[in-house]
Copies of this chain bind each other. A is one copy, B any other.
């Protein structure tokens, strides 16, 4: 009997067996699990880690990223990153030769396929561990490409992204392990039973393309990278041209770990583009590309979905939406306002999960501080935002810097938006001076009050520090608008505040109808914009904002296929 045996002697198998078992159990339980500490404290990462990371970061600047020069390049160097905090990064990256790159990726595939799921998972985990060892270097890279404040860049760009990577690895591993390697099939028959042995072989789909985004270069790229890699597919990563460095570090680490473990480093390649080159499109149109993971604007996302389908490629997209909050009542006004204000302020509302539309009944809401009118609630929210962001030096550690001109234009346009919607500006996005980076454009959140009838304003994504307070006739109308707008325009997140169990139940039904996950009555240190790997799905795939979720079975099960060989015994 010949079966495609899983290699059992790779040294990383033993090293990571316990960690993979733990992560497997956590994924099934969907309870709390984290492999990488989220605190940038010196007690956790070491006394010199922060300083060393900064030195490592600065060593990249104004020079060539030579550690990636062994990729299949065309000999040219590209790079145009400018920190949202001001400084030009000046890093030059080798530019791939697409033909050679894809040929090299395909050539690397058979031995990676034949290594089997367990070895692949162990190697992937080794990569993520090695990425974590460069957490402070990565934090600086994420901060100076996305504009995130430092601690957020450390956490979301580092441990949280790495936890999502481990989640994807283990989800892919579990999915492959559900298919037995070999079985004996015995069908009863008149005389002797008919017996066959059947071997099931996991085969990759082909080369995977991951298209990164500017705001979360690692967090939004890791799930696709590791889901494809663990299921046997080589990965070509096309970073956003303004957010290359975090993925360059990641790819350098991955290639090193692959090489050290006897695999072809060209299983992971970084495809940096010159500004305006359109490399994502060029790659997406190549027949070798069998899987595409994309985070970014809806136009190109929808084109990718069609292009992929036309050639039988799998496409996973996260695009845009109108994240929604329904405010009905609260028994903890201070907690609710503080929580919502922080959700709006964090990274100046530049998260794909930041609330945009807040529905409030025109008659106001009941609270533990008495009944508040729509206007009073609006003012209280504005005050909570003000409290959080009034001190510039403290504010920038929450707000970060605006990432691009569109965000700045949105922030500058609140008066016009209010006029267009027949509403009013409750709070203008305040201009904040960064004490360390005077060139950074920093904006505190702004609030615009609108009537529910001003759909043309609030049903479009208005990315950045602008939130609409939408006056409805009742919570019932709030929930109706919630369902309709999310079904049509998508959402990554939704939240409700209510003291009424009936309203909460109705909100859950509305969320199920809309196809978006719901956070209820958050008043503490958990925010609607944050999801926790292994427990919270990021996105649902059930509304137009994203066609998939980090990380459910559907996100991994189709990245590999099974080929059977059967014979009598």
Contact = CB atoms under 8 A, between A and B. Distances in A.
Q: Is chain A's binding surface mostly helix, strand, loop or mixed?
A: mixed
B511 A312 contact: no
B518 A564 contact: yes
A242 interface: no
Nearest to A28: B178
A524 B194 contact: yes
A310 interface: yes
A203 interface: yes
Given A185-B532, A505-B2, A565 B29 contact: no
A535 B565 contact: no
A302 B309 CA distance: 8
B30 A200 contact: yes
B32 A187 contact: yes
A544 B312 contact: yes
Interface stretch (A263-271, A435-443, A546-554): A546-554
A564 B542 contact: no
B515 A537 contact: no
Q: What size tier do the contact residues of chain A reach?
A: 35 or more
**Identical chains bound together, number:** 2
A526 B197 CA distance: 12
Contacts of A562: 537, 540, 549, 552
A552 B542 contact: no
A7 to B, nearest CB: 16
A8 interface: no
A553 B557 contact: yes
A305 interface: yes
Contacts of A508: 2, 4, 199, 201, 565
Given A520-B565, A552-B557, A557-B553, A29 B189 contact: no
Interface in A79-107: none
A43 interface: no
Given A175-B553, A203-B542, A542-B203, A565 B511 contact: yes
A381 to B, nearest CB: 20
A299 interface: no
Nearest to A514: B563
Given A184-B31, A568-B526, A558 B554 contact: yes
Contact of A198 (B28, B30, B302, B568): B30
Interface in A329-346: none
Contact of A523 (B29, B310, B561, B568): B568
Given A194-B525, A515-B563, A535 B185 contact: yes
A536 B565 CA distance: 9
A183 interface: yes
Nearest to A315: B309
Contact of A563 (B199, B302, B505, B517): B517
Contacts of A558: 541, 554, 557-558
Contacts of A540: 561-563
A180 interface: yes
Given A309-B310, A521-B568, A549-B561, 15 more contacts: A4-B508, A30-B198, A31-B185, A198-B536, A203-B512, A512-B563, A516-B563, A517-B564, A517-B565, A521-B567, A522-B568, A526-B568, A541-B558, A541-B561, A552-B562
30 contacts: A2-B504, A30-B183, A30-B200, A31-B183, A31-B184, A32-B185, A32-B187, A113-B512, A175-B553, A185-B535, A189-B525, A198-B536, A201-B508, A203-B512, A302-B310, A306-B309, A309-B309, A312-B547, A508-B565, A512-B563, A518-B563, A519-B565, A526-B566, A536-B566, A537-B562, A541-B561, A542-B561, A549-B562, A554-B558, A557-B557
Task: List 10 tightest A-B contacts by C-beta distance, closest first.
Answer: A309-B309, A542-B561, A554-B558, A520-B567, A553-B557, A554-B557, A517-B564, A518-B565, A305-B309, A557-B557
Interface of A: 2, 4, 28-32, 113, 175, 178-180, 183-189, 194, 196, 198-201, 203, 205, 302, 305-306, 308-310, 312, 315, 501, 504-505, 507-508, 511-512, 515-526, 532, 535-537, 540-542, 544, 547, 549, 552-554, 557-558, 561-568
